[in-house]
Chains A and B, each alone.
Chain A
Amino acid sequence: MRFYEFEAKQLLAKSRIPLVQSEVANTAEEAEKIASTIGGPVILKAQAIAPGLAAASTREVSDPGAAKAAATELLGIDDGGRKPRGILVEARPTGEAVYSLSFTYDGTAKRPVVAAANMAGKIDDLADEHPDRIVRRHFSALFPFSDYIAKELAKSLSLGGNDLKRMTRIVSGLARLFLKYDLADLDITSIVKLGDGNFVVLDVEADLEIEARHRQRPMLDELGFSKDDLRQVREPTEFELEGARIDAEDPRGIISPIAEFDGNIGLVIGAGGGSLTLTDAVRKHGGRPANYAAIGGNPSVDKARRLTKLVLTKPGVDKIAVMSNVVSNTRADLVARGVIKGITELGFEPADKILIFRVPGAWEADAAKILEKYGVEYCDRTVSISEAARRAVEKVG
């Protein structure tokens, strides 16, 4: 879950990481005032989550009047259906040297890793063109972080004297913060060495490990991060919110993630990997999915019923495809009963609304019997995922 940069900087400030002077403005007037307090050139950063906004969400200006005009413009940008959460107005010092740092988990080494470069930018973006300017050190999530790891990293950046000591303090502080707050990624895309020899952090991107959001609640509360704010790249739609409600109201099994697309084939599909594969398969055969869903963990009849009704009543959807990988834990018969119930409750004939029913595996014989009663063909495991998707697309026309 992405932090707004002003939140990430609050975390850094708590760990005494030296930061450039900055303040959040909620109006253009406030932005002008902050800019004049800072004096000199400033950068304005609209606080936004959606990807691909980097260029659109920042402006560098040289005087407070220009800051006001830029802020007016930035406050109007579209952050995936949201307004920006204010504007970060910051000093833009230049210095004799610039560095960048990146903390993440290396899935190959299975350890946290810090990378540093003697240039500004996101290390992931620098890695292709400037591999020689990047140095890396793994560290441990099991043992406490030891400062020498940061010192060795600073040394490999060719730093010495006070520079080495100052950079060591920054890297150590960030590594401990990264572990303490369960961050998944922390990118310091620019650290400048000022004329007085001090380092100061300019630009920060930070992501929280989504699975740690419950145990990090105290930190999130302190930042004013609300419980239902999952920082998706765009605002959830009414369809998605209702899907999440259905999922939350019944602990038996899961049907999420649910996402809304703009196609016409309603998808009642599962499970985690099966839904990814099935969505690709529908598209490959020229179909346009109306939604995404991921049924798993043996959902109740009621959950399958409510998901079916949600998908089938989505504007533009006339028919649904019920498909999954070969199930082990989820019961095919319970899915069949839920789907049939959902359709009949809406006053339709199951045979008119089901493009295909391909849920092989546990309790498949019972599922086949239920469907037979309603004149719906049951596809067993001999019908591949690709073939099931092809037939569904063909039938929807």
Chain B
Amino acid sequence: MAVIVHEDFQFIVQGITGREALNFTRECLQYGSKIIGGVTPGKGGREVYGVPVYDTVREITDKERVDGTIITVPLAFAPDAAYEAIDAGIKEIIIITEGIPRKDASAIVEYADLHGARLIGPNCLGIIVPDVCRFGSLGGPAVDCRKAFKPGVVGVMSRSGGMTTEICNALTLSGLGVSTAISIGGDPVIGSTYADLIPLFEADEDTKAVVVYSEPGGTAEAELARWTKENDSRLPIVAFVAGRFMDEMPGMSFGHAGTVVNKKVDSPADKMRRMREAGISVAEEIGDIPGLVRERIGN
């Protein structure tokens, strides 16, 4: 079992000839992922590491099953690429592209909802099920990726791509390992929040606990706290909230676009309080996470 992806999961890459896309396409292939095509308008007919490149998504979906797509096109083309994928019937969509205004992100999510598609991101690195499938650019070169992500019992959701790898590395070193890790994106409006995704971990028999990495800004942590209170979940949750120093610097923004604090619920202090009240363990330091997970799962 795994969350969202599986052993036979096959996907495409929109914007496959871009610099970043070339890198992660190679890395995913080396990791064993099934990339069955790429799309770059005007470059149809070429190949990227043996993967055929097309001008349109439909050229691929017309002849093969496409489970997912990774969108990493320049900012101005990202909504169009998402609509193209959704209209072609693709159901799992990852947007890596950074800097998409929230109005556009909101429109994409609504379109995806209307068509039964799921969006992860924007401004994320995607999903990995260690040794099964890497759907995105988490972990870098396959050799480094294998060091940081070993199969195990902990599900991870993170608003930071880099910290997804950091936390999974800590879980791997501790021997707990990772069931599925999802970099959900650092923007104020993202397709799938912690609360949207946690039922998938709940249903995944490999997952014994969930770790979430969070940052200042937004309501996702309050929403997760509410979900936890309202649902009798079998899963213990351990959370880490970064950027506490920002509580002393009102109005300043650091890091991801979603980290602007202008509402009460946005502050790290408020997030930690709400999550603790809901029974979520809040780690003081990244290094404390594996110990807290062990305590909660009685291992």
Residues of A within 8 A of B (CB): 50-52, 105-108, 110-112, 124-125, 128, 140-142, 179, 182, 184-185, 207, 209-212, 215, 232-233, 257, 259, 270-277, 279-281, 283-284, 292, 294, 296, 324-329, 360-362, 364, 381-382, 384-387
Contacts and interface: CB of A to CB of B under 8 A. Distances in A.
Contacts of B242: 273, 276-277, 280
Which bucket holds chain B's interface residue count? Answer: 35 or more
A385 B288 CA distance: 11
Given A273-B213, A279-B243, A327-B162, 6 more contacts: A128-B264, A141-B106, A211-B102, A272-B186, A273-B215, A276-B259
Interface string B124-166: 0100000000000111110011011000000000111111011
Nearest to A296: B162
Contact of A381 (B148, B188, B288): B148
B111 to A, nearest CB: 6
Interface string B249-277: 11111111101101110000000000000
Contacts of A283: 245
Given A105-B189, A233-B252, A273-B213, A211 B99 contact: yes
Contact of A386 (B161, B255, B262, B287): B287
B233 interface: no
A328 B162 contact: yes
B218 interface: yes
B20 A232 contact: no
26 contacts: A105-B188, A111-B106, A140-B107, A141-B106, A142-B106, A142-B110, A182-B101, A184-B188, A257-B254, A272-B256, A273-B159, A273-B162, A273-B163, A273-B213, A276-B215, A276-B242, A276-B255, A294-B255, A326-B148, A326-B162, A328-B137, A328-B140, A328-B162, A362-B141, A364-B144, A386-B287
Interface in B213-251: 213, 215, 218-220, 223, 240, 242-246, 249-251
A280 B158 CA distance: 17
B285 interface: yes
A328 B144 contact: yes
B80 interface: no
Given A211-B100, A328-B138, A385-B285, A292 B254 contact: yes
B245 A279 contact: yes
Contacts, number: 194
B286 A207 contact: no
Contact of B286 (A106, A124, A386): A386
Contacts of B284: 284
A328 B243 contact: no
A210 B102 CA distance: 10
B191 interface: yes
A326 B169 contact: yes
Given A141-B106, A326-B166, A385-B166, A210 B257 contact: yes
A241 to B, nearest CB: 16
Q: For the complex, would chain A's binding face be called helix, strand, loop or mixed by DSSP majority?
A: mixed
A386 B188 contact: no
A80 to B, nearest CB: 9
B189 A274 contact: no
9 tightest CB-CB pairs across the interface, nearest first?
Answer: A273-B160, A328-B140, A233-B251, A273-B163, A325-B166, A276-B242, A384-B287, A276-B243, A386-B285
Nearest to B114: A142
Contacts of B165: 325-328, 361
Contacts of B111: 142
B23 interface: yes
A329 B215 CA distance: 21
B257 A211 contact: yes
Given A179-B103, A276-B243, A108 B193 contact: yes
B195 interface: yes
Contact of A51 (B161, B251, B287): B251
A272 B215 CA distance: 10
B162 A271 contact: yes
Nearest to B165: A326
A369 to B, nearest CB: 16
Contacts of B250: 51-52, 233
A284 B102 CA distance: 33
Contacts of A257: 253-255
Contact of B160 (A50, A274, A385): A274
B245 A142 contact: no
Contacts of A284: 284-285
B170 interface: yes
Contacts of B110: 110-111, 140-142
